[in-house]
Amino acid sequence: MKTIVQKVLGAVAVGSLLAVQVPASAADTASKKIALSNNFAGNSWRQAMLKSWEKVTKEAVAQKVVAQAPSFTTAENQATEQAAQIQNMILQGYDAIVVDAASPTALNGAIKKACDAGIVVVSFDGVVTEPCAYRIAVDFKQLGEMQIDYFASRGLKGNLLEVRGLAGVFVDDEIHQGIGDGVKKHPEYKIVGSVHGNWTQTVAQKEVAAILSTLPTVTAVATQGGDGYGVAQAFKAAGRPLPVIFLGNRHDELTWWKEQRDASKYETMSGSIAPGSSTFAFWVAQQILGGAKVPKDMKLPLTVVTQNTLDEALKNTEPGGVVNMEYSQKDVVDFLAKLK
């Protein structure tokens, strides 16, 4: 008799222990189905994004966190096609839909239908304006501002060179504004030159080389990603001392950084958006299904590589690719807890 009571008590104890371990996903999501609606798969970022989704969700399904998490990509990157796809997902009975949208507005009708059917819609990267959906947007301003903050934390002073992206694109404007805000906050910096590197190493190298002879000593270079290696080559070719160049997580940039570090203890930092943001959105959807209170608008955390994490980041990045990061359930639970 006693032993049975002990066993039961033991089982209750184990059960409550488990419950303590995962408090944020208190409600069971094991029977829930989450689908990814993706509009485009034609570049390396999207390919990595889909791969991350598959990897993380496969594990989540195996561990019975969710029942199913398939991904669906439309053929033509067209809004009407993706709207039809989302409507089919409503019919399929998914509990949550994660969307990387072809248009911020043209899917609104379909997304409203999904919300009305009681489906949780989480948009990321390509976010949607429909108020009933959750948005995980990329904070490009932050990507600009953090560079100046980093330079300040290093105690650097003096002249900055700014390498911008493709003129007229929203992303370029946002990062540029962030850099401007950072400089306002730290008056010890002065931007002495600005060129458009178009997020391309060769263009950045050519543009920087052209302006370099007119510039005084440059202490640091603020960039937008995909351009850092080209900037370094331009400085090297001109025989100028190497400034601190903020990098953008590309494989060639990190390789160059490692070489410089090994040769001359070069120090810098690197930051960008990880394609694994799809897995971030996945866990956000899972948390909402689990009953967590989540704000409708969130900023996607940036993926940062520092001196200490360089070797690991480089090891895990394919040549020609971008540093990826797959988020775990714990990462997202912690992120959401911090928002409160």
Partner 1 sequence: MSSLQAKRGVLVLHNILPALALSLLLAAVFWRQPRAMSYFGVNLLLNLAIPLMFASLAQMMILAVSDLDLSIGPFVSLAASIGATLLPTRPALAMLAFVAAVAAYALAGALIESRRLPSIVVTLGLSFVWLGCAVLLLPTPGGLAPDWLSSAMAYRTPWLPMPIWMALFAAALGHVLVTRSAFGTLVRGLGGNPTAVARVGWSLVRLRAGVYALAGLFGVLAGLMLVGQTTSADPNIASRYTLVSIAAVILGGGKFVGGYVSPVGTVVGALTMTLAASFLTFLEVAPDWQVGMQGLILIVVLGLRAAIDRLERIA
| Options 106, 137, 156, 191; binder of partner 1; rule CB under 8 A | 106
Contact 274, 303 (CB under 8 A): yes
| Options 24, 61, 67, 112; binder of partner 1; rule CB under 8 A | 112
Shorter beta-carbon distance to partner 1: residue 129 or 260? 129
Shorter beta-carbon distance to partner 1: residue 76 or 259? 76
Shorter beta-carbon distance to partner 1: residue 28 or 81? 81
* Nearest distance from C-beta of residue 225 to partner 1, angstroms: 23
User: Is 109 a residue that touches partner 1 (CB under 8 A)?
Assistant: yes
For residue 103, which phi and psi values (nearest 5 degrees)? -150, 140
CA angle 143, 102, 284 (to 5 degrees): 60
Shorter beta-carbon distance to partner 1: residue 72 or 266? 72
Shorter beta-carbon distance to partner 1: residue 40 or 151? 40
User: Is 28 a residue that touches partner 1 (CB under 8 A)?
Assistant: no
- Stretch of 20-28, 98-106, 132-140, 141-149 lying at the interface with partner 1 (CB under 8 A): 98-106
For every residue of the chain, which 3-state class applies, written as one string?
A: CHHHHHHHHHHHHHHHHHHHHCCCCCCCCCCCEEEEEECCCCCHHHHHHHHHHHHHHHHHHHCCCCCECCEEECCCCCHHHHHHHHHHHHHHCCCEEEEECCCCCCCHHHHHHHHHCCCEEEEECCCCCCCCCEEEEECHHHHHHHHHHHHHHCCCCEEEEEEECCCCCHHHHHHHHHHHHHHHHCCCEEEEEEEECCCCHHHHHHHHHHHHCCCCCCCEEECCCCCHHHHHHHHHHHCCCCCEECECCEHHHHHHHHHHHHHHCCCCCEEECCCCHHHHHHHHHHHHHCCCCCCCEEEECCEEECCCCHHHHHHCCCCCCECCCCCCHHHHHHHHHHHC
* Nearest distance from C-beta of residue 83 to partner 1, angstroms: 6
Tokens of residue 169, six digits: 């694109």
* Nearest distance from C-beta of residue 173 to partner 1, angstroms: 12
User: Is 255 a residue that touches partner 1 (CB under 8 A)?
Assistant: no
* Nearest distance from C-beta of residue 98 to partner 1, angstroms: 14
Of 226, 221, 199, nearest in space to 211 by CA? 221
Shorter beta-carbon distance to partner 1: residue 85 or 324? 85
Tokens of residue 241, six digits: 């001392």
* Nearest distance from C-beta of residue 106 to partner 1, angstroms: 4
For partner 1, the binding residues in 128-147 under the rule CB under 8 A are 129
* Nearest distance from C-beta of residue 70 to partner 1, angstroms: 6
| Options 39, 52, 108, 287; binder of partner 1; rule CB under 8 A | 108
**Per-position x/- string for 51-90, each x denoting binding to partner 1 as judged by CB under 8 A, each - no binding:** ---x---------------xxxxxxx-xxxx-xxx-xxxx
Of 109, 143, 103, nearest in space to 123 by CA? 103
* Nearest distance from C-beta of residue 75 to partner 1, angstroms: 4
User: Is 103 a residue that touches partner 1 (CB under 8 A)?
Assistant: yes
Shorter beta-carbon distance to partner 1: residue 43 or 105? 105
User: Is 307 a residue that touches partner 1 (CB under 8 A)?
Assistant: no
* Nearest distance from C-beta of residue 96 to partner 1, angstroms: 15
Give contact residues for partner 1 (rule: CB under 8 A): 35, 41, 50, 54, 70-76, 78-81, 83-85, 87-93, 103-110, 112-113, 129
